[in-house]
């Protein structure tokens, strides 16, 4: 056994951190996180972590900037407490969609966040279903990139859905859709869309046969649920029967929850990578076991490769 394993939680998703600790058979490290009246974050680690192997669980979900800054401050506190190794456990990596310059004079914020994490003292990152896999290359430290697909597909198989077609709600999700279709031994289809604004999406056409078939929409992320619900409406018009959806990260606000509730979607499967994955028709699936397996393997310097498999 290496240095003592310790798990800390920020305020973004303490319930997930507790579930990870249950899977590991350990307790959360005692720490104080408070906010001063002027909005500044204060962190104090209440246990001796000198020489420890520290894992900080903090998805950078809304409020994104607050949770990101809190993570950086926690990392600094742990580094100054002489931890041997610091792993940032980011079940959801915020700013992942700002991964390239798609317009003039815009930032590549995903790279900036990677730089901030490295500069703060993070030695490695553990994350789940990055919006773009190449973001791993933004880090100059090791990144263990897990997939939620096995957890999602297990729940889908348990439903015993017959005559299933796996559908990508946009062209960018073809690779993920193909992986699901292959694993579920089902054909696939694609919805062509046009993004009107950050919250409004127009579904244009369906490529593939969905008439009279049960449908599973798959995506990595939904927030306002515009893409999913527009695709579901179009699929229903093309004769789809029961429509299900599965996403890795359901960062749902009130608009997203309302859209899902009012849509033809019967059930939305989502992991508990963020606390926002709740609502009418939303089934939250626990990924704490997957994250705990990765943590124990990293701690013991064992291969994590098998956990990447879909």
pLDDT tens, residue by residue, 52-111: 999 999 999 999 999 999 999 999 999 999 999 999 999 999 999 999 998 999 999 999
Question: CA 133, CA 11: separation in Å to the nearest integer?
Answer: 26
Q: Identify which of 239, 235, 232 has the alpha carbon closest to the alpha carbon of residue 260.
A: 232
Same domain, residue pair 172 and 98: no
Tens of pLDDT, residue by residue over 12-53, are 999 999 999 999 999 999 999 999 999 999 999 999 999 999
For the cut 80, the answer to whether the pLDDT of residue 199 exceeds it is: no
Same domain, residue pair 142 and 153: no
* CATH number of the domain encompassing residue 131: 3.40.50.2020
Say how many domains are in the chain: 2
Tokens describing residue 188: 């696939």
Sorted by sequence, the CB contacts under 8 Å of residue 99 that are 6+ apart come out as 108, 110, 111, 131, 132, 134, 135, 138
Tens of pLDDT, residue by residue over 207-252, are 899 999 999 999 999 999 998 999 999 999 999 999 999 999 999 9
Mean pLDDT (whole number) for 160-181: 90
Residue matched to tokens 């597909």: 153
For the cut 50, the answer to whether the pLDDT of residue 1 exceeds it is: no
Same domain, residue pair 217 and 258: yes
Q: What percent of the chain has pLDDT over 90?
A: 85
Instruction: Read off the DSSP letter of residue 9.
Output: E
Mean pLDDT (whole number) for 183-202: 77
pLDDT for res 3 = 77
Categorize the per-residue pLDDT at 172 as very low, low, confident or very high, splitting at 50, 70 and 90: confident
Tens of pLDDT, residue by residue over 127-158, are 999 998 899 999 999 999 999 999 999 999 99
Same domain, residue pair 206 and 235: yes
Sorted by sequence, the CB contacts under 8 Å of residue 302 that are 6+ apart come out as 296
Mean pLDDT (whole number) for 193-210: 71
Categorize the per-residue pLDDT at 202 as very low, low, confident or very high, splitting at 50, 70 and 90: low
Q: Where are the alpha helices (DSSP H) in 25-163?
A: 64-80, 109-120, 149-158
Categorize the per-residue pLDDT at 305 as very low, low, confident or very high, splitting at 50, 70 and 90: confident
Question: CA 280, CA 272: separation in Å to the nearest integer?
Answer: 15
Average pLDDT, the chain: 93
Peptide linkage before 63 cis (omega within 30 of 0) = yes
Same domain, residue pair 293 and 175: no
Same domain, residue pair 162 and 134: no
Same domain, residue pair 179 and 297: no
Residue 9: which domain range?
A: 5-146+288-308
Same domain, residue pair 163 and 122: no
Q: What percent of the chain has pLDDT over 70?
A: 95
Same domain, residue pair 268 and 157: yes
pLDDT for res 301 = 93
For residues 87, 89, 94, 97, the Cα torsion angle rounded to the nearest 10 degrees is 80
Give, in order, the Cα–Cα distances in Å from 298 to each of 14, 39, 180.
21, 35, 27
pLDDT for res 151 = 94
Same domain, residue pair 98 and 186: no
Same domain, residue pair 168 and 258: yes
Same domain, residue pair 142 and 11: yes
Q: What is the pTM of this model?
A: 0.92
Mean pLDDT (whole number) for 273-288: 96
Answer yes or no: are the C-beta atoms of 170 and 193 closer than 8 Å.
yes
Which residues are catalytic, by number?
193
């Amino acid at each position: 056994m290496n240095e003592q394993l310790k798990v800390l939680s920020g305020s973004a998703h303490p319930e997930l951190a507790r579930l990870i600790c249950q899977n590991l058979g350990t307790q959360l490290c005692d720490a104080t996180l408070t906010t001063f009246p002027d909005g500044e974050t204060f962190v104090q680690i209440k246990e001796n972590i000198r020489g420890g192997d520290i894992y900080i669980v903090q998805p950078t979900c809304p409020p994104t900037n607050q949770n990101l800054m809190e993570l950086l401050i926690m990392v600094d506190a742990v580094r100054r407490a002489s931890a041997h190794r610091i792993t940032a456990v980011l079940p959801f990596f915020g700013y992942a969609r700002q991964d390239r310059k798609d317009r003039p004079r815009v930032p590549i914020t995903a790279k900036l966040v990677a730089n901030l994490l490295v500069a703060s003292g993070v030695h490695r990152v553990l994350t789940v279903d990055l919006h773009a896999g190449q973001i791993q290359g933004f880090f100059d430290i090791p990144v263990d990139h897990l997939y939620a697909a096995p957890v999602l597909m297990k729940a889908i198989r348990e439903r015993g859905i017959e005559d299933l077609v796996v559908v990508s709600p946009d062209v960018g999700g073809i690779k993920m859709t193909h992986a699901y279709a292959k694993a579920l031994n089902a054909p696939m289809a694609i919805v062509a869309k046009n993004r009107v604004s950050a919250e409004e999406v127009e579904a244009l056409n369906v490529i593939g046969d969905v008439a009279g078939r049960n449908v599973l929409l798959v995506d990595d992320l939904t927030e306002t649920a515009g893409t999913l619900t527009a695709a579901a409406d179009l699929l229903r018009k093309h004769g789809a029967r029961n429509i299900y959806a599965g996403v890795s990260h359901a960062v749902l606000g009130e608009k997203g929850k309302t859209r899902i509730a009012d849509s033809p979607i019967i059930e939305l499967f989502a992991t508990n990578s963020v606390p926002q994955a709740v609502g009418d028709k939303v089934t939250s699936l626990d990924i704490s076991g997957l994250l705990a397996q990765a943590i124990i393997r990293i701690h013991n310097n064992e291969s994590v490769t098998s956990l990447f498999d879909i």
